[in-house]
Amino acid sequence: MNTNSIRSSWITAQEDGTEHAVTDVAQEAARDAGDGRYEAECGTVLLAAAMEAAPLHRCARCRTIRRARFRPRELAAPQRRSGWLSRLCHRGRPAERTTGA
């Protein structure tokens, strides 16, 4: 399955106000089950808060999972320049630094 075709929405958990990413497939499963519980991409099972409830923060695990799905190459390996054209275009620029953050 193409991971870029997976769609998800942010849903705020009633329990703690955390906003989690829930795929369309999981939302459909929750509607079919009829119990109002959604399984987020991070594995958390939540009850959706009222629509007017503002989220307190976003789930870090859901953010990481979504980021990895949309940009798997950037997260899997550090960027490096290769090829003569890239070296020519980036000549004279300081070397990339990696930060621990």
The residues of the shown chain that bind Zn ion, judged by CB under 5 A, are 20, 40, 42, 44, 59, 62
Nearer to Zn ion, 60 or 75 (CB): 60
The token duo for 31 is: 């509607």
Pairing of strands 37-39, 45-47: antiparallel
Q: How far is the CB of 81 from Zn ion (least distance, A)?
A: 35
Q: Which is nearer to Zn ion, 42 or 91 (CB)?
A: 42
What's the sign of the alpha-carbon dihedral 24, 28, 33, 37? positive
Tell me the two tokens of residue 14: 């009633």
Nearest-approach distance from CB 6 to Zn ion, in angstroms: 15
The nearer residue to Zn ion, 57 or 87, going by C-beta atoms, is 57
Cα(82)–Cα(101) distance, integer angstroms:
25
Shortest CB 11 distance to Zn ion, Å: 9
